[in-house]
Amino acid sequence: MLAIVSKGVFEKDAGKAKLGRVLPFAGYASASKHLAKLDTTSRLFLVTVRPPKEALWLVAVLENLVFDGQKWTATPNSTRLTDVTLIKDQLQFDSGKGIVAKPGALGMSLQTPRVLTAADAKLLLDAAAAGQTRTPAPRPVNLTRHEERSPLPCLCKRCFPAAPPRLEFQGSEFVRTNVEARSRVLWFWIPATLGDDLAQVQRAVKARLCSRIQPFPDEAKSAESEGSDEAEDEA
């Protein structure tokens, strides 16, 4: 299961801890009924949300859990403190809903403990074991924002698999399309009647997208390196 360590508790117990350090957490003070599924064979993944940009940190993984009626005790944690912000959207939980939180409300959205899937646990453990404090998301990254009240199906990363390639709405036919730039992809709907102008629409959207986003840091460095190699060849 996954549970959150509040900002106050974390800063009191390990406020100056740096990523990569192993924090000797050996318990979790909570009597939440949602943790009743835990037993001595379970693992409890503790996370916390860090300012200023709501980074999600994996704090500890507790095993050999025992509940005394007020708190859970466990063997001391041996998992390193890891920033898992960029893989949080890959977590699904047994509900299949993943993490859904408005800006500024990530910590609040995780107040209720959740059951992790085996894939979720592996994702978190692999990140910690590899020392990858920021594991990049699969690319191209879907930039499409989640839309709760859109009249057409949402095309964000989570909703995309359920969206049809074309549909009819209020007597008009729409098709989904996308543009890709700098390892990002933006999906959107256009009226089928604009099919002949699709290339022009895509060029316009791509130009606007390129003006608003920068390359990922690793790709920017790669591009700079290639540019230097080309300059040396020309010299």
d(CA 50, CA 15): 10
Lowest mean pLDDT among 14-18, 137-141, 168-172: 137-141
pLDDT above 70: residue 36 = yes
Residue 134 confidence (pLDDT): 47
pLDDT value at residue 224:
53
226 has a pLDDT exceeding 80: no
Q: pLDDT value at position 135?
A: 45
Whole-number pLDDT of residue 199: 93
**Residues 208, 163: Cα–Cα separation, whole Å:** 25
Q: What percent of the chain has pLDDT over 90?
A: 67
For the cut 80, the answer to whether the pLDDT of residue 140 exceeds it is yes
**pLDDT at 222 (0 to 100):** 53
Residues 6+ apart with CB under 8 A from 51: 7
Return the residue matching tokens 């959150």: 4
Task: Give residue-wise pLDDT tens across range 5-30.
Answer: 999 999 998 988 899 999 999 999 99
Residue spans per domain, the chain: 2-130, 141-217
pLDDT of residue 148 exceeding 90: no
CB contact at 8 A, 149 and 34 = no
As a whole number, the mean pLDDT across the chain is 88
Q: Residue 137: what pLDDT?
A: 58
d(CA 71, CA 122): 26
Residues 122-141 as b/e (b if ≥16 CB within 10 A, e otherwise) read ebbbebbeeeebebebeeeb
Look up residue 18 and give its DSSP letter: P
Mean pLDDT of 195-220: 87
